[in-house]
Amino acid sequence: MANHKSALKRIRSNESKRLRNKYQHKTTRNAIKKLRDLPSKDEAATFYPAVVSMIDRLAKRNIIHSNKAANLKSKLAKYVAAL
Protein backbone atom coordinates (compact mmCIF):
# COMPACT_ATOMS: atom_id res chain seq x y z
CA MET A 1 0.00 0.00 0.00
CA ALA A 2 1.10 3.56 -0.64
CA ASN A 3 2.88 5.38 2.16
CA HIS A 4 2.64 8.98 0.93
CA LYS A 5 -0.27 11.31 0.32
CA SER A 6 1.01 11.99 -3.20
CA ALA A 7 1.10 8.26 -3.95
CA LEU A 8 -2.49 7.89 -2.79
CA LYS A 9 -3.53 10.80 -5.00
CA ARG A 10 -1.63 9.27 -7.92
CA ILE A 11 -3.56 6.00 -7.46
CA ARG A 12 -6.87 7.89 -7.52
CA SER A 13 -5.97 9.98 -10.56
CA ASN A 14 -4.61 6.98 -12.47
CA GLU A 15 -7.89 5.13 -11.95
CA SER A 16 -9.99 8.05 -13.17
CA LYS A 17 -7.74 8.53 -16.22
CA ARG A 18 -7.87 4.79 -16.98
CA LEU A 19 -11.68 4.84 -16.96
CA ARG A 20 -11.79 7.95 -19.17
CA ASN A 21 -9.34 6.42 -21.67
CA LYS A 22 -11.30 3.16 -21.70
CA TYR A 23 -14.55 5.03 -22.38
CA GLN A 24 -13.06 7.08 -25.22
CA HIS A 25 -11.39 4.05 -26.81
CA LYS A 26 -14.56 1.95 -26.64
CA THR A 27 -16.66 4.78 -28.07
CA THR A 28 -14.28 5.13 -31.01
CA ARG A 29 -14.29 1.38 -31.67
CA ASN A 30 -18.09 1.41 -31.69
CA ALA A 31 -18.08 4.32 -34.14
CA ILE A 32 -15.72 2.41 -36.45
CA LYS A 33 -18.04 -0.61 -36.36
CA LYS A 34 -21.02 1.66 -37.07
CA LEU A 35 -19.19 3.16 -40.06
CA ARG A 36 -18.45 -0.29 -41.46
CA ASP A 37 -22.12 -1.27 -41.11
CA LEU A 38 -23.50 1.75 -42.99
CA PRO A 39 -25.16 0.62 -46.22
CA SER A 40 -24.75 3.64 -48.49
CA LYS A 41 -21.66 5.51 -49.61
CA ASP A 42 -23.23 8.90 -48.90
CA GLU A 43 -23.90 8.07 -45.25
CA ALA A 44 -20.42 6.61 -44.82
CA ALA A 45 -18.78 9.62 -46.47
CA THR A 46 -20.57 12.03 -44.14
CA PHE A 47 -19.81 9.94 -41.01
CA TYR A 48 -16.15 9.31 -41.95
CA PRO A 49 -14.75 12.73 -40.84
CA ALA A 50 -16.26 12.33 -37.37
CA VAL A 51 -14.64 8.91 -36.97
CA VAL A 52 -11.27 10.23 -38.20
CA SER A 53 -11.51 13.05 -35.67
CA MET A 54 -12.11 10.55 -32.86
CA ILE A 55 -9.14 8.44 -33.98
CA ASP A 56 -6.89 11.51 -34.17
CA ARG A 57 -7.94 12.53 -30.67
CA LEU A 58 -7.01 9.09 -29.30
CA ALA A 59 -3.61 9.27 -30.98
CA LYS A 60 -2.96 12.80 -29.73
CA ARG A 61 -3.65 11.71 -26.14
CA ASN A 62 -1.49 8.56 -26.51
CA ILE A 63 -4.42 6.22 -25.94
CA ILE A 64 -3.48 4.49 -29.19
CA HIS A 65 -0.21 4.67 -31.12
CA SER A 66 -0.01 7.17 -33.95
CA ASN A 67 0.85 4.43 -36.46
CA LYS A 68 -2.24 2.47 -35.43
CA ALA A 69 -4.32 5.60 -35.94
CA ALA A 70 -2.84 6.06 -39.41
CA ASN A 71 -3.54 2.42 -40.30
CA LEU A 72 -7.14 2.68 -39.11
CA LYS A 73 -7.76 5.89 -41.04
CA SER A 74 -6.22 4.43 -44.19
CA LYS A 75 -8.30 1.26 -44.04
CA LEU A 76 -11.49 3.22 -43.39
CA ALA A 77 -10.75 5.59 -46.28
CA LYS A 78 -10.24 2.66 -48.63
CA TYR A 79 -13.45 1.07 -47.36
CA VAL A 80 -15.51 4.23 -47.89
CA ALA A 81 -14.01 4.79 -51.35
CA ALA A 82 -14.82 1.22 -52.38
CA LEU A 83 -18.50 1.45 -51.45
* 52-64 confidence digits (pLDDT tens): 999 999 999 999 9
**pTM (2 decimals)?**
0.84
| pLDDT tens digit sequence for 1-13 | 778 999 999 999 9
The answer to whether 36 and 79 are in contact (CB under 8 A) is yes
Report the C-alpha gap between 74 and 71 in whole angstroms.
Answer: 5
